[in-house]
A and B are shown apart, each in its own frame.
Chain A
């Protein structure tokens, strides 16, 4: 076969000869391609291992919003890792999330780091995590300052209120209850928000609440060891014997609650308080700023009458000074007298009396301990100190307990060793009034309204009979009499008319009388001038002086 082929081959000389160029390289460049590919692959691998950070696992109560391979871990909004897997715990009580942290975030795999899920939250203090509404939840992280490695964490259910390393200080407050406070509730200093409440828990004995609050720097220096904290939550409306009170800190606290603090007026320690210093949380500003009350003393009072209007927390006043408050009002039964006395328990703060208390203590002398207060009270009761329930507000009928001195009060045995101390009582002023009114009512009751009524009824009946008689017998007689009278009067009228003979006679008589009187005057005149005429008679020379002597007069004088 090859022979035939060779036979067909044209002569080699006729054909053009290929030009041969010497290769510059003895190595095929094409191998660079897989080498580059290998290099790229290796570099990817290396960079992956270089950038791989620690793996941690965090437990949460719920996986709400968390998705494997999607949910990111952020610190200050920088992505530092990613959730890789998620599984339920064996007892199904929580979930465990595995997180791949970045190499740069290896500091977050140390003890003290806190993780929490950032979800949109609408709280009383505001709205947070709005961006997660669109982007989905993410896991927030806050590194601690420990170097100790840790890979298993327990996630927080609520975001921590304070991030690590934030300037400021924490303080502890003790309160009887939480009120309307919550984590994140603001803390105000002169109505400027300077901090917030970061945690709260019940005391171990369950008799109170401890709150931890964080005051941001640099304002934390305003918290001194003498600082007073009070609850500025909501609208504080109190209706007591003191009247109606309304107080708020700011509009936000009306909704969210809050705490305010301030130093008491007057000289006090200005040095900033230590971290985690403990304070009492007062109910309102007035009690917070007031001087310290000191140890409260329990006293008991037994009232024999009704105490309607006396409530727990009603004030106890000594000579108008508020020294304590009522803590209990209970009914008791006295089998000997078969009455129901009211037992009132009250806490009094002797130190509120200030100087008076010091002087009293000095006067009493003796050791300053629990026996001091009964001894002081013993002296005061000896001087007539009595408790009295008085009306503090006529409108609402609120009562308060007044401790007052009544020198006229009967002596009462006071047992200074009794516990609790029992203060003798006197009936209130209002009770006096009641007594008086009841005695008046008693007297009114003694009036025999029944017999009076019966007698009055008989008398009225008699009167009725009498009137009937008058009507039937007396009135016709009277009519007749009146007619007679009428006739008489008519006759009299006739007699007295101008043209009646009687009238004329009278006129003549009067004229005669006038003349007589004139004669008498002339006679007396003559006698005045000639008194001897009485003895000697009338002289002839004596001319009559009367200008118009009446004939009648002359006649009369002549004899």
Chain B
């Protein structure tokens, strides 16, 4: 297998901002001599950051699911719904399609992100060379799907802004939605801090 040489092999690296090619360095706090931007061959502390943010997101995911996210108040009733109870209610109320969408956006997507990111991080740390190309695809999928989880947050935000008819009907956001938003943001940050180039860095050791 005759792969093209990498910058590291040639002792070269480039600035991400001004594209100046400089000599290779492992020093994490190096800066570009021309523009002063941080200079690194891989994202600094990529794995650590990704882990930390992923862990924080997982922690926030618990209150996000336990606490109600939305209060629907009408003339005769007052409903506090968590994400799951909201889905159940939608299903029972005869809109299974909507329930599936909300379930996908609010439960499946975050869970997928936890699993995929966790798997990517573990595999990178183990310097596994297993299905590297597919793993990159997984990463792209995580990045793509990440912001769709905000669907729930947007629903709550829009409803509470629109449905404001005093005592007749009213929607209020509850603390759960804040935690949920934090989860989505943290997983996105985690995915962003992950450097997909690390997937391919195992080549040296595999050889």
Contacts and interface: CB of A to CB of B under 8 A. Distances in A.
Interface string A28-58: 1011011011101100100000000000000
Interface stretch (B23-31, B92-100, B128-136, B142-150): B23-31
B82 to A, nearest CB: 11
A70 interface: yes
Nearest to B4: A5
A40 B9 CA distance: 45
Interface stretch (A12-20, A404-412, A524-532, A544-552): A12-20
B59 A37 contact: yes
B55 A15 contact: no
B48 to A, nearest CB: 5
Contact of B31 (A2, A5, A18): A18
Majority DSSP secondary structure for residues of B touching A: mixed
Contacts, number: 105
B59 A20 contact: no
A18 B48 contact: no
A28 B48 contact: yes
Place the interface of chain B in its size category.
35 or more
Contacts of B87: none
A16 B56 contact: no
B171 interface: no
Contact of B53 (A8, A9, A33): A33
Contacts of B57: 37
A40 B62 CA distance: 11
B138 to A, nearest CB: 23
Contact of B48 (A1, A17, A30): A30
Contact of B30 (A5, A19, A37): A19
Interface string B1-13: 0100100011111
A92 interface: no
A22 interface: yes
A20 to B, nearest CB: 5
Nearest to B179: A40
A136 B76 contact: yes
Contacts of A37: 55-57, 59-60, 186
Contacts of A15: 12, 21-23
A207 interface: no
A313 to B, nearest CB: 54
B77 A70 contact: yes
A33 B186 contact: yes
A192 interface: no
B49 interface: yes
Given A9-B11, A18-B39, A40 B31 contact: no
Contacts of B186: 33, 37
Interface in B155-207: 167, 186, 193
A135 B49 contact: no
Interface in A262-315: none
A15 B13 CA distance: 10
A18 B56 CA distance: 34
Interface of B: 2, 5, 9-13, 20-23, 25, 27-34, 36, 39, 45, 48-49, 52-53, 55-57, 59-60, 62-63, 75-80, 167, 186, 193
* CB-CB nearest 10 A-B residue pairs: A37-B56, A18-B30, A37-B59, A34-B56, A34-B55, A15-B23, A5-B9, A33-B56, A30-B52, A5-B5
Given A10-B12, A37-B186, A70-B79, 5 more contacts: A4-B5, A5-B5, A18-B33, A20-B25, A30-B45
14 contacts: A8-B5, A12-B23, A16-B22, A16-B23, A18-B23, A20-B25, A28-B45, A30-B49, A33-B52, A33-B53, A34-B59, A40-B60, A41-B62, A136-B77
